Amino acid sequence: MLGSSFWRNPLVETAGYFSVVVLCLVVSMVIFEIVTKYKNWEEIKNGNVAVALATGGKILGVCNIFRYSIERHSTLSELIGWGLYGFMLLIFAYILFEFLTPKFKVDEEIENDNRSVGFISFTISVGLSFIVGASIL
């Protein structure tokens, strides 16, 4: 049986955090793929920079939220819960962005490689991830 000092080793803890966050990130990206009308990874493969920006913003935003969660959590379930809750808030912000821009459809503009819309989507995700992260107790 491994001693408790093994689990408190910074290398082991980092590998554990890394594994949990990567798994949650994969789940988050699957959900983002479902929410958007376009196929994220297919569009990125085809060189769509706007989709890459929007997707990259979600990835960076989720990782930033998990960064705060790792720093402040006390249990693994809290770490995962805060990270996924934060991601759901980022999805809500994406939907709100669509709602607040009635003159154009965000999904269509991003799918059509409108890089300015992709950049704003990126900025919203990253910016709000700092707000969510700062609120984690």
Q: Which residues of the chain register pLDDT less than 70?
A: 1-4, 6-7
User: How much is the pLDDT for 44?
Assistant: 97
Q: Which two tokens stand for residue 13?
A: 């803890």
Boundaries of domain holding 27: 4-135
- CA atoms of 25 and 122, how far apart (whole Å): 16
Other Cβ atoms less than 10 A from the Cβ of 20: the count is 17
Tally of domains within the chain: 1
Nearest to 35 by CA among 97, 112, 80, 81: 97
What pLDDT score was predicted for residue 118? 97
- Asked if residues 133 and 64 have their Cβ atoms less than 8 Å apart, the reply is yes
Tokens of 97: 């962005």
